[in-house]
Structure 1
Amino acid sequence: MTLITSDISRRALLVGMAAASALGPVRSFAQSPGTSLLDAARALAAAPYLPPAGELPAPFNNLTYDAYRGIRPIEGRAAMLAQGDDFLLDLLPPGLYFPDPVTVERVVDGVLQSQPLTPDLFTFEPRYFSDIPETSPGAGFSGLRLRHPLNRPDVMDEVAVIQGASYFRAIGEAMVYGLSARAVALGTGGVDPEEFPRFTHLRVHEGADGHIRMEALIDSLSLAGYLDMVLTPGADSVMDISVTLLPRVNIDTIGVAPLTSMYLKGPMHGAASDDFRPRVHDSDVLFIENGMGEALWRPIENPRSVETSAFGDENPVSFGLYQTARTYEDFEDTEALYEHRPSAKVSPRGSWGRGAVMLVEIPTGTEFLDNIVAFWRPEEPLAAGGEYRFDYQLAWTKSAPAATIRAPIAQSRSGREHLLPGVRRYVLDFDTDRDDLVPELSLSGGEQDQLSGLTLFPLPDGRGMRVSFLLDPGEAEALELRLLLRDAEGAAASPVWLHRWTPKRDGDV
């Protein structure tokens, strides 16, 4: 985190509620033409907040889901607009979950252009619409979509979408959309209602040399802000991001570099959903490389009540939400293609100081609601009138976490031990053939004798090593488990596996 100055020294659900490859150096780019959006953000922060004006005008008001899908940008007007070398841009209509107007500016041939929204930029499915007006005063675009020849040189694939509050998402080669990112989160997982800062202004520069730059103005009741992003699509699509936050009030519930995902069920607790598929999730692991040199592996859960976890740190190396299951057999879903959904890895640049990586897990009974959020929260609150900048790289990747670890975790599972009522068995599989490693298991919130049966043994056909143990939670309200493999010299050979047990989770039939 950079303190610059101070005068006083669920995808659709969440939007509706609001209505790794190798890392290179951060690139430097020329200032945008026209008025500086950073200066505009500073001016916004110094003024009282003005919420967006009322209801959308026709034909974008009072839409059903199917009606909104029946609005399509016209090629050459609002779709497939050339945006420099090897990039095209689509402008997205307002309506349904996306009522708030977003001003879109494009730099074309070095000239800054602003595109007003008019209905003639779109076609409208006749069964849902009639008497389309010529103008829609007060309406603006809801966001934009970027295209690039990602998988084939003759096909302009979607690579990124920016739409709804401050949400955006991207994919790399051979991926389908999954989890999302945000410019900033406010109050996520807290006792008060969450606040959703939104993009009010997007400025897209001309693509060149395989990358494209976008700027955004952010506004909400509690803060204004500015985002500067450079997207480089590829096998992994990488974003170099700088976010400047300008609080109007003191903020102690900030979420920096937030990632939002979905987890319904998996092998840690299959009873969470009666479903034919063995797994249903966009992400299944929070992985952290902390400033102390540890690698933390935290399986994600679908809890019975909201769970918030804080992983204290200073200057984290990276954190991300990962999809570690990568075969069709993991999911058995011919339509959702969860095995092809990206992981997202945040790598901070510069000093972010002391704080915590936060994980918020929210109960859900459906795969259509995002219920997982991970972000960085600084230890010190952001002060009203201050200016704070966070630089980081965000990689959308299929790469496994911790590729350099000697004994990476392949999977972890749990289930009832049927011959011992109330007892739960855990198994962790490691991608290693070393049988000289020693498992180190501990728990917090209870007594060590609640753990038993700790063993390490090889899996069949050279598939790795398995650790198994039993947990007898007794009357505990919550227990924190920690497991690590060490070598003969006592050095860590695996990530630190972390898991929170709660009795409500084991209450499922």
Structure 2
Amino acid sequence: MKRRAFLAGASALLAAPRTLSAGTAVPADLLGLARSMARQAYRPNETPLPPPFAGLDYDAYRGIRPLAGRAAQLPVGPGYSVDLLPPGLYFPDPVQIELPHPDGVHEVPFSPDLFSFEPRYFGDIPDTAPGAGFSGLRLRHPLNSPDVLDEVMVLQGASYFRAIGQAMAYGLSARAVALGTGGPTPEEFPRFTHLRLHPPQDGKIRLEGVIDSPSLAGHIDMTLHPGTDTRMQIATTLLPRREIADIGVAPLTSMYLKGPMRAAVSDDFRPRVHDSDVLAITNGAGEHLWRPIANPATLQASAFVDNGPSAFGLFQIPRRYADYEDTEARYHDRPSAMVRPTGNWGRGAVVLVEIPTDTEFMDNIVAFWRPEAPLQPGSEHSFRYSLDWTLGLPDQTPPMRILQSRSGREHDQPGTRRFVIDLSGAPDGLSPDISVNGPAEIRGIGAFALPEGLGTRVTFLLTPKDTSALELRMVMRDDASGQPASPIWLHRWTPARDGGV
């Protein structure tokens, strides 16, 4: 999927909104609806997508546009409007969408005449499209100028949604839930069946969704507060139909093609190509973990075991245009996303899945929370958390902050790779504590001040010994007390695509 072009083409026409008439009555309680669905066998959507939405290629799908006042720029309360998105291409399944009206929420009836169709891709458009429905919605709010309703959030495809704050460009996504991600069997994608917008209050807007799949039903309740950073308060209720050991709670999905940890993955004029480059975790013990993301030669899944996590997120660290040299993609303006659990989520692990890719048009990075105990059929599980979409940096409480990570082959020492970690502050009275969990030699450890007061550089050489993966760990320690003076830097080394180090 052409992610960049798809997002660029997602903007609707600009025109004065008109009132949309209310549709049919809706369920009174969406959480109750999800509970009722979970007690029944899963019923997939088996209705084929009808013309004019069936059999579209990418360009034809982009040629369908919501009409202003009919499916675009529909006012839903002070400071907000919504665009309703057409079916087709990757989005065949209908989503029932309910919008607020003075007498409550009402379902919006679907019809082809809510959209315009580019004549070069479409002939006569039928009056009806039985079985078709909206594929999602796009929410607008005056983020950057008080008189312009900018895009702030999109929900479309499975249970995916993404959001931005001020001066941001769309990047990574979130989901209501993940199932089987990175596992040995095909991943299952629960999808939204219902979306309900509530009237905005105090600059915030609430949205509910019902999700369904063969393995579970569920409900998500989010309150969106757009701003410099856009914050969501989310409650997800999961209702398993079967035992689920491979659940992913609060999943984040991103893209990483290449960066200075292994630039040779892609022969490209740009120094970096990614939506996120670091997984940051604050665990239940208060430790700050910093895990650079990779594009490995084979699928990798890493589990960071914890009890009551404080926060985890996928971060885009470099923020200068020169870090990416991409005038179109605006990678330097793409948001990071941080999950902060509400209450104690108990024992489990933050899981990072890294999938090999040779293109920037594939989302290949996923991070989520996985409870230690499998979810049992007939049970109910609620997870509450905040989700911040931000240009800010992760929490790094210790005196030194990690600034960047780099690595490359040591060309005069075959089979050896050099790692470089830059941190803020001076190295006086501090030493790096570096370890590896498998058959490998670490040598050439050094820590020294960078020129012009730019901080401290830690460097070392790694020579693997007949192994397919190694876990590296580095933390700066105070020479006198032995206490950590930096976040804990973590990295999984795996062989390169050519089999080398």
- TM-score of the superposed pair, with normalisation by structure 2: 0.94
Of 457, 461, 464 in structure 2, the residue corresponding to residue 470 of structure 1 is 461
Cα distance between partner residues in 2 of 1:267 and 1:94: 39
Aligned to 2:347: 354
Q: CA deviation at 1:435?
A: 2.2
1:149–1:227 Cα change, 3 Å: same
Aligned to 1:61: 54
Cα distance between partner residues in 1 of 2:292 and 2:79: 39
Aligned to 1:20: none
Contact kept? 1:85, 1:209, Cα under 8 Å? no
Contact kept? 2:398, 2:484, Cα under 8 Å? no
Contact kept? 1:108, 1:205, Cα under 8 Å? no
Q: CA deviation at 1:12?
A: 6.8
Aligned to 1:273: 266
Aligned to 1:214: 207
Q: CA deviation at 1:434?
A: 3.9
Paired residues for 1:51-450 under 5 Å: 51-446=44-439, 450=441
Query: What runs of 5+ residues in structure 1 fail to find an aligned partner?
Result: 1-9, 16-31
Cα distance between partner residues in 2 of 1:506 and 1:240: 45
Q: CA deviation at 1:493?
A: 1.2
Cα distance between partner residues in 2 of 1:11 and 1:311: 32
What whole-Å deviation, never above 9, does each CA across 1:144-174 have from its counterpart, x for those lacking one? 0000000110111000000000000000011
> What residue identity is the alignment partner of 1:390?
F
> What residue identity is the alignment partner of 1:477?
S
Aligned to 1:452: 443
Contact kept? 2:48, 2:131, Cα under 8 Å? no
Q: CA deviation at 1:405?
A: 3.2
What is the total number of aligned residue pairs between the two structures?
481
- SS class of match (1:386): coil
Deviates more, 1:47-56 or 1:211-220: 47-56
Of 482, 490, 496 in structure 1, the residue corresponding to residue 482 of structure 2 is 490
Q: CA deviation at 1:508?
A: 6.0
Identity %: 62
Cα distance between partner residues in 2 of 1:60 and 1:476: 51
Contact kept? 1:272, 1:508, Cα under 8 Å? no
Q: CA deviation at 1:433?
A: 2.4
Superposed CA RMSD: 1.7
> What residue identity is the alignment partner of 1:401?
P
Q: CA deviation at 1:506?
A: 6.5
Cα distance between partner residues in 2 of 1:327 and 1:165: 33
Cα distance between partner residues in 1 of 2:281 and 2:398: 13
1:455–1:505 Cα change, 3 Å: farther
Cα distance between partner residues in 1 of 2:27 and 2:297: 51
RCO comparison, higher one (Cα < 8 Å, 6+): 1
- SS class of match (1:287): strand
- TM-score of the superposed pair, with normalisation by structure 1: 0.92
1:506–1:424 Cα change, 3 Å: farther
Deviates more, 1:113-122 or 1:398-407: 398-407
Deviates more, 1:375-384 or 1:201-210: 201-210
Q: CA deviation at 1:53?
A: 2.0
Q: CA deviation at 1:260?
A: 0.2
Contact kept? 1:262, 1:370, Cα under 8 Å? yes
1:267–1:445 Cα change, 3 Å: same
Q: CA deviation at 1:482?
A: 0.2
What whole-Å deviation, never above 9, does each CA across 1:286-316 have from its counterpart, x for those lacking one? 0000001110000000000100000000000
> What residue identity is the alignment partner of 1:462?
G
Aligned to 1:5: none
Contact kept? 1:71, 1:123, Cα under 8 Å? yes
